[in-house]
Amino acid sequence: MNILPAIADQAPVLTAIRRDLHAHPELGFEEVRTSGLIADKLTQWGIPIHRGLGKTGVVGTIRGRLGSSTRAIGLRADIDALPMAEHNTFAHASRHPGKMHACGHDGHTTMLLGAAQYLAATRNFDGLVHVIFQPAEEFGGGGQVMIRDGLFEKFPVEAVFGMHNMPGIPEGTVAASPGPILASNTEFKAVIRGKGGHAAMPHLAIDPIAVASQMMQAFQTIISRNRKPLEAAVISVTTIHAGDSFNIIPETCELTGTVRAYTRETLDMIERRMGEVAEYTAAAYGARCDFQFNRLYPATVNHAYETAFAREVLVELLGAERVVAQAPIMAAEDFSFMLEAVPGSYCFIGNGDGSHRDVGHGDGPCNVHNGSYDFNDALLPLGASFLSRLAERWLDRPLPSVR
């Protein structure tokens, strides 16, 4: 493995930063301490910063020393934590009750800081590297908010790159593939309005729970009967709320859930069919239904040239056998907004087999969003080396006329 020696030397420093961030998790748009730490480090390394895009976002700009080119590349990390309790008991466990870096964004932030430090110290490129520290990936679409606040007008880039750790993929292995890799994320809500009454006299009422149970079944036929079989999609009803007592038929029943898909066509079809099923199922039983379909994150779709480029850099660092393909997964990611705005790519860096984890917290790779998860510090020099080399190589090679 060709980790950059200057970055390998910084491994203890990077580990300390990562554990400090882990101990002080902050939720989306509340990353005040986190963004303060990022701003301090960048400033300390002689990198001019811009704060306030997406409230707590930080952008640092590193200018190369090999010329006066205005070509630019963006490197992005997410910085927010999750609203959940940490089960780990190690020294760097969360000191903020009910908040936890259970998705490894503490590690993503640190890998980008490591790259920023290296690039600022060496500046072996001609052009600009914008390091983008983005808030609120988990909730709130911080990536979209930064773009709305003018991210790519203030900091135009030819391409933008990001990555996420992935438990289960071996340490030292990275998965990257072109095309759709993460799904779009939509929330829906169906409020069924019937007519309340005595549970012993259902003929005088319109039972919204009976309507809801039909509707839930009918929603799944959209996946089994309307969706093209080779187009992946999920409809999950995840909450049902109705009623207060065993002997009262309630007035309303509310269903909420999520829809995941990779293409806009499939999502449009699902929205139309769910609306029809909601309206006509309710009507068939004499009830009404208010149906809302709220699109949150679009699908994350990697661009072909940028993905091939990232893979080439990964092969240089890791060797071909450690650069693998990534099958699409149904989770969502707000880096998708950045990839809709400019070309780029997003890859998955293996978080390993779980052997780095705290003793007594289970065996094997702990998944993200689990209270026993911890980012694998062994990845820090690797991720920082990848981002650094990516920037150097990108700015060194002329941009092809057709991408």
List residues binding Zn ion (CB under 5 A): 103
Whole-angstrom distance, CA of residue 36 vs CA of residue 247: 56
Say if CB 31 and CB 79 are below 8 A apart. yes
Q: Which is nearer to Zn ion, 127 or 162 (CB)?
A: 162
Q: Which is nearer to Zn ion, 143 or 257 (CB)?
A: 143
Q: Which is nearer to Zn ion, 81 or 287 (CB)?
A: 81
Q: Which is nearer to Zn ion, 186 or 252 (CB)?
A: 186
Q: Which is nearer to Zn ion, 313 or 368 (CB)?
A: 368
Which residue, among 105, 96, 164, has the nearest Cα to 136 in the 3D structure?
105
CB of 369 to Zn ion, least distance (A): 6
Instruction: Sort strands 252-261 and 233-242 into parallel, antiparallel or unpaired.
Output: antiparallel
CB of 127 to Zn ion, least distance (A): 29
Shortest Cβ contact with Zn ion: which residue? 103
User: In Å, what is the CA distance from 125 to each residue of 204, 248, 327?
Assistant: 77, 72, 33
CB of 103 to Zn ion, least distance (A): 3
Q: Which is nearer to Zn ion, 78 or 392 (CB)?
A: 78
CB of 137 to Zn ion, least distance (A): 6
Q: Which is nearer to Zn ion, 186 or 351 (CB)?
A: 351
In the sheet that holds 233-242, the strands lie side by side as 233-242, 252-261, 184-193, 288-297
Q: Which is nearer to Zn ion, 83 or 170 (CB)?
A: 83
CB of 165 to Zn ion, least distance (A): 8
Q: Which is nearer to Zn ion, 73 or 163 (CB)?
A: 163
Owner of token pair 């699409």 = 328
CB of 386 to Zn ion, least distance (A): 17
Q: Please, what sign has the CA dihedral across residues 93, 41, 49, 122?
A: negative
Instruction: Sort strands 184-193 and 288-297 into parallel, antiparallel or unpaired.
Output: antiparallel
SS3 65: coil
CB of 367 to Zn ion, least distance (A): 10
CB of 116 to Zn ion, least distance (A): 20
The neighbour count for residue 245, using CB atoms within 10 Å, is 8
Say if CB 374 and CB 359 are below 8 A apart. no
SS3 367: coil
Q: Which two tokens stand for residue 92?
A: 């760097």
CB of 146 to Zn ion, least distance (A): 16
CB of 143 to Zn ion, least distance (A): 12
Whole-angstrom distance, CA of residue 271 vs CA of residue 280: 14
User: In Å, what is the CA distance from 47 to each residue of 43, 59, 393?
Assistant: 5, 10, 20
Instruction: Sort strands 288-297 and 179-182 into parallel, antiparallel or unpaired.
Output: unpaired
Q: Which is nearer to Zn ion, 138 or 392 (CB)?
A: 138
Q: Which two tokens stand for residue 107?
A: 């590690």
Whole-angstrom distance, CA of residue 311 vs CA of residue 161: 12
Whole-angstrom distance, CA of residue 100 vs CA of residue 354: 18
Say if CB 28 and CB 139 are below 8 A apart. yes
Angle between helical axes of 105-122 and 379-396 (0-180°, round to 10): 50
Residue length of the chain: 403
Q: Which is nearer to Zn ion, 137 or 207 (CB)?
A: 137
